[in-house]
């Protein structure tokens, strides 16, 4: 395989990050430091899992007059959902907040990024799906991941689906990057084991894909290699959820996010995206289901993945593509092959010679 340069890219880093057990206790001060007479109130977008833990918002520094919104995680973000949230903030007079705090998993972090951009840019979420369409900086935003793996805390995108058009695409923009990220491994202690595994594997999978691709550069490779090493340590370790390994996985997620800025994914993500679009499966579990069927394309990673899943006693949904209709087959093929850039990265421009319709369907049928 010929290794091609990804081209020169300007990469926007997360402004600041705080790392360590208990780091979340510093969010309060961060929020307080952003309040001014003109921007008194803050917005807290909190994963609805925490709705049952009554003092979550106040522990993050929420005061009377602030807006606290719980973000549902049954479905991944939609442009319509984001628009509704922004309208609500306008309605309650929280359209010029001191800061927007996103506290949760990838869904909540992506929601915080999108809301922050819309509050200053106006218009609707769908207007900014694409590359560098956001015109001005969003409201100051703080990201606090409570599960590790998506890398959303470090990336310049926030993935959303437009329910009207079916378009699943983020606001790819330097303005989408968090101003401050708080990485506190103690927050991931109560994540269910399966979910912890699926989400953590998101970091592993996109870095495995990047390192196997033909479009490469030295800094993306470095971030990806260390991310993969950390994931190996975590998921081949005795207990992936002990204190040390939760800390390592949080670092893997952040560095994996940094890797995304200068690299491309491969064959797994297009198939995974198709599972999400056609069957509504969440991104991380869909990735795992796909990698589990990708022995031919990623033999090393597939074998390692099998070892990890057995070692950690994790279960994977089975037969998600049982009983496909002709329409579903057509939809799955279309939703896979539209991801030309990653497929070219993995298989070359002539990727359809390898990924024939029949081959694609036989892969889905293994999932």
Region 167-226 residues binding its own copies, contact defined as CB under 8 A = 174, 183, 185, 217-219, 222-223, 225-226
| Residue closer to its own copies, measured from CB, 31 or 250 | 250
Q: How far is the CB of 6 from its own copies (least distance, A)?
A: 8
Cα torsion for 287, 290, 291, 295, to the nearest 10°? -170
Taking alpha carbons only, the member of 195, 179, 188 closest to residue 143 is 179
> Which of 230, 291, 335, 363 touches its own copies (CB under 8 A)?
230
Q: How far is the CB of 21 from its own copies (least distance, A)?
A: 7
| Residue closer to its own copies, measured from CB, 3 or 353 | 3
Q: How far is the CB of 201 from its own copies (least distance, A)?
A: 18
The whole-angstrom separation of Cα 161 and Cα 25 is 33
Beta bridge partners of 171: 130
Are 202 and 287 in contact, with CB atoms under 8 Å apart? yes
| Residue closer to its own copies, measured from CB, 219 or 316 | 219
Q: How far is the CB of 239 from its own copies (least distance, A)?
A: 16
Are 345 and 266 in contact, with CB atoms under 8 Å apart? yes
Burial letters for 241-271: b for 16+ Cβ neighbours within 10 Å, e otherwise? beeebbbbbbbbbbbbbbbbbbbbbbbbbbb
| Interaction mask 15-44, its own copies, x per CB under 8 A | xxxxxxxxx--x------------------
| Residue closer to its own copies, measured from CB, 110 or 248 | 248
Q: How far is the CB of 19 from its own copies (least distance, A)?
A: 5
Residue 159 token pair: 């993935």
Q: Which residues contact 281 (CB under 8 A, 6 or more apart)?
A: 275, 289, 317, 320
Residue 367 token pair: 């999932």
Contact stretch for its own copies (CB under 8 A) within 127-135, 254-262, 331-339, 356-364: 254-262
| Residue closer to its own copies, measured from CB, 124 or 225 | 225
């Amino acid at each position: 395989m010929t290794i091609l340069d990804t081209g020169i890219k300007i990469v926007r880093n997360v402004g600041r990050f705080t790392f360590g057990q208990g780091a979340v206790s510093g969010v309060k001060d961060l929020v307080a430091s952003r309040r001014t007479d003109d921007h008194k109130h803050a917005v807290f977008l909190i994963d609805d899992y925490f709705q049952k833990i009554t003092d979550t918002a106040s522990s993050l520094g929420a005061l009377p007059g602030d807006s606290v919104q719980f973000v549902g995680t049954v479905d991944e973000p939609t442009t319509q959902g984001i628009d509704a949230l922004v309208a609500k903030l306008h309605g309650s007079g929280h359209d010029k907040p001191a800061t927007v705090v996103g506290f949760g998993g990838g869904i909540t972090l992506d929601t915080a990024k999108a809301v922050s951009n819309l509050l200053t840019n106006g218009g609707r979420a769908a207007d900014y799906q694409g590359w560098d369409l956001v015109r001005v900086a969003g409201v100051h935003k703080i990201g606090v991941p409570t599960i590790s793996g998506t890398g959303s805390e470090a990336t310049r995108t926030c993935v959303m689906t437009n329910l009207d058009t079916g378009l699943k695409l983020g606001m790819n923009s330097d303005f989408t990057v968090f101003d401050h990220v708080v990485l506190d491994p103690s927050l991931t202690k109560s994540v269910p084991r399966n979910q912890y595994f699926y989400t953590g594997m998101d970091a592993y999978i996109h870095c495995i894909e990047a390192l196997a691709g033909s479009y490469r550069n030295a800094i993306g490779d470095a971030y990806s290699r260390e991310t993969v090493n950390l994931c190996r340590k975590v998921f081949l370790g005795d207990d992936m959820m002990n204190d040390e390994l939760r800390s390592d996985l949080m670092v893997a997620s952040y560095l994996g996010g940094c890797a995304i800025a200068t690299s491309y994914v491969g064959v797994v993500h297009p198939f995974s995206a198709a599972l999400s679009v056609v069957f509504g499966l969440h991104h991380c579990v869909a990735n795992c289901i796909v990698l589990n069927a990708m022995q031919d394309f990623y033999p090393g990673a597939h074998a390692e993945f099998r070892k990890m899943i057995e070692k950690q006693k994790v279960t994977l949904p089975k037969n998600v593509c049982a009983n496909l209709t002709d329409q579903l087959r057509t939809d799955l093929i279309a939703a896979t092959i539209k991801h030309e850039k990653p497929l070219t990265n993995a298989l070359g421009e002539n990727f359809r010679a390898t990924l024939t319709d029949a081959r694609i369907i036989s892969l889905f049928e293994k999932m």
